[in-house]
Amino acid sequence: MSVVDTLGASRSRIRELSPHLVSQIAAGEIIERPASVLKELLENSLDADADTVNVDIERGGIKRIQVTDNGCGIVKQDLALALSRHATSKLSAVDDLSAIRSLGFRGEALPSIASVSRLRLRTRVAEDPVAWEVAVDGSGDVIGPKPAAHPIGTTVEVADLFYNTPARRKFLRTERTEAYHIEDTLKRLALSRFGVRIVYRRDDRAAETYPEAGDDQQQDERLRAICGAAMAEQSVRFEHRSGGMRLRGWLGLPTFSRSQRDLQFFFVNGRMVRDKTVAHAVRQAFQDVLYQHRHPAFVLYLELDPARVDVNVHPAKHEVRFRDARSVHDFIYQTLHRIVADDTNPRHAISAVAQAPRGMPTAGESVGSEQLNMAMRLAEPASDYRAPAQSVVEDAGMQQRQEPEIALPLGSALAQLHGVYILAQNRKGLVLVDMHAAHERITYERLKNQWSGDGVLSQALLVPVTLRVTTQEMTTWSSYGEQFDGIGFDISRLSEDTLVVRKAPALLADVDIPGLVRDVLADLAVTGASARITDRINDVLSAMACHGSVRANRRLGIQEMNALLRDMEATQRSNQCNHGRPTWVQLSMADLDKWFMRGR
């Protein structure tokens, strides 16, 4: 008999897998690396209402992971069940699946972890005078329970991860890399529960402590510890409620954009998740204000009725599915869009970080306020720098005339530098404005407002465009076809697999119509929304704004420069040009004093 025949014969019979093998298969879905173990154990601690959690790891968690909490503990009679598959205290009926409020609920984490490690669990409930301990050595056999010494709460120790599955163990990275993933998981859990004190030790050395953060100031400090001082200082804290949903958190300003998505944290009802709907809404909210290939930074918390979100999508619970993804998308987009529009205006963001000359202090560094009052040390007598009496009188008159404008965010124009930059002074110090970038944003926003006010103008195509579509694309068009009507398209069904486009927005006459329609259908299928057509129209308007703005080396008078400053203050998103570059920076008197070492 050939090998193929032998394999065919062995596969012809259906067998029930052993419980231990089933647990190891489940572990393959849940336990990817030591950080996965930590995530499951921490979620159990949080579900047990712990407000203090201690985490100890050795050798990147490969050798040992131990999590100790002061939660409610597990009664002795339930210890064996806690280590068996599909046993949980968090569900009791099928209806509970439609409104899950706990982090864990599948009943797979502990038995899956125990099947690929040496696990020891000690626990005590308040009603029991003694603690109890059970252990599993990877074979699936539970040893215990037996009496143990332990305060109220639970300790789970996971040692020698993947010792009995060498094929899995060889895919682990270096101890340093695994420790990095553990610390990243710890940070995310620390951001999800500000009321929990977390103590982290690595290889028997204190590594990090996150104290309980009950008030806003303490929460800001935890954000600073996890995301850095720059994020804390260049972000907006907000909260908004609408339609039974609440969105709160911190939104990084465009000036604090990132080259990677390393500072993006999103939580749904306290659960850290990744979601395409949310990612799309955030990306759209930051449209036109981020430099190319840059990413926003944010820590967002969405709260809504648990019945409106399905968390039973992925074994590791990294993903969710919203019952009404469109309403969630619109709520997040509109909230963040408004914040970005408000806080990228000079009236709301008067403190921008300036680029200092090499070797000099940056505008972000702190300076004592008393330095402003220190006398300037001069080698020459001060009388040598005094202006003639007539000049003093003229300067005083000019200062009096400028005073009302100096009080405004961008102040009063002083001069033009090389036909490119406007120099202005406000009460904080010196303002530098890139006049072309600023005027480009002003013109662009005006064009967008005119476009939205006049409505989308359609243009009949000289030759109607037909495109063959898949069954999925046709289904999507049938569900969302009215959205095309509202943005200037006339699309109808020609046959079971063909659509015909007879009209398109006038500004998009030269674009790839079939490709654009397909891209929009793909977006609608995933998120229920698409901004591709608006994006294309905005691209055209942006190009028009660029060509219609003041060019470099054009001389402006003081009145013209002040008019530009006032337009900037009245225009949303005017802190950045259409391409995401800054339009102005602020240099405070403290910054200037540091550069010239005044008072030292």
| 543 vs 440: CA distance, rounded Å | 9
**CA angle, corner 152, sides to 150 and 157, nearest 5?**
50
Report d(CA 512, CA 518) in Å as an integer: 10
> What single letter denotes the amino acid at residue 151?
P
DSSP letters spanning 290-307? S-TT-B--EEEEEE--GG
pLDDT for the residue numbered 7:
47
In degrees rounded to 5, what are phi and psi of residue 456? -80, 120
Cβ 322 vs Cβ 528: under 8 Å: no
Cβ(122)–Cβ(155) under 8 Å?
yes
Q: Which residues of 582-597 are buried (b: 16+ CB within 10 A; e: fewer)?
A: bbbbbbbbbbebbeee
Strands, sheet with 197-202, edge to edge from the N-terminal-most edge strand = 142-148, 131-136, 118-124, 153-159, 64-69, 52-58, 197-202, 205-210
Report the DSSP beta bridge partners of residue 421: 417, 434
Spatial strand order in the sheet of 429-434: 412-417, 421-425, 429-434, 584-588
Is the Cβ–Cβ distance between 277 and 320 less than 8 Å?
A: no
What pTM did the predictor assign?
Answer: 0.74
Dist CA 591 CA 553 (whole Å): 28
Please report the sign of the dihedral spanned by the C-alpha atoms of residue 397, residue 401, residue 407, residue 411. negative
Q: Taken in order 377, 380, 385, 389, is the CA torsion positive or negative?
A: positive
- Amino acid making up residue 119: L
CB neighbours (10 Å) of residue 468?
Answer: 12
Class for the domain spanning 19-210: alpha beta
Non-local (6+) Cβ contacts of 523 within 8 A are 280, 529, 530, 531, 532
- Residue with tokens 């120790």, as numbered in its chain: 157
CATH domain 228-343 topology: Ribosomal Protein S5; domain 2 (3.30.230)
CB atoms within 10 A of CB 199: 16
Q: Regarding the domain delimited by 355-368+391-600, which CATH topology (the fold level of the hierarchy) does it fall under?
A: Ribosomal Protein S8; Chain: A, domain 1 (3.30.1370)
Instruction: Give just the sign of the alpha carbon dihedral 102, 215, 363, 549.
Output: positive
Give the per-residue pLDDT at 297: 94
Q: How far apart are the first and last CA of the chain?
A: 93
Residue among 331, 344, 329, 330 nearest 296 (CA): 344
Please answer whether residues 399 and 411 qualify as being in contact, where contact means their C-beta atoms are separated by less than 8 angstroms. no
> What is the number of residues in the chain?
600
Q: How far apart are CA 100 and CA 310, in angstroms?
A: 8
Check whether the bond before 306 is cis (ω within 30° of 0).
no
* Pairing between β-strand 421-425 and β-strand 412-417 as defined by DSSP bridges: antiparallel
CA 123, chain centre distance (Å): 37
Give the Cα separation of 444 and 558 in Å (integer). 23
Q: Where are the domains of the chain?
A: 19-210, 228-343, 355-368+391-600
pLDDT in tens, the chain (600 residues): 554 454 455 556 777 777 767 767 666 667 889 999 999 999 999 999 999 999 999 999 999 999 999 999 999 998 888 887 766 666 556 665 666 776 765 567 888 888 889 999 999 999 999 999 999 886 778 888 999 999 999 999 999 999 888 888 888 899 999 999 999 999 999 999 999 999 999 999 999 999 999 999 999 999 999 999 999 998 999 999 999 999 999 999 888 888 888 899 999 999 888 888 899 899 989 988 887 788 999 999 999 999 898 887 766 677 888 989 889 999 999 999 999 888 777 776 554 333 433 333 333 333 332 222 223 233 333 333 233 333 333 444 445 555 677 889 999 999 999 889 999 999 999 999 999 999 999 988 888 887 777 666 788 888 899 999 998 899 889 888 877 877 778 999 999 899 999 998 887 767 788 888 888 888 888 777 777 777 777 877 787 787 777 776 788 899 999 999 999 999 988 998 888 888 999 999 998 999 888 876
pLDDT at position 226: 95
Backbone Cα Rg of the chain: 31
Q: What pLDDT sits at residue 586?
A: 92
Structure tokens at 261: 């998505």
The number of C-alpha atoms within 13 Å of 587 and in the hemisphere containing its C-beta is: 19
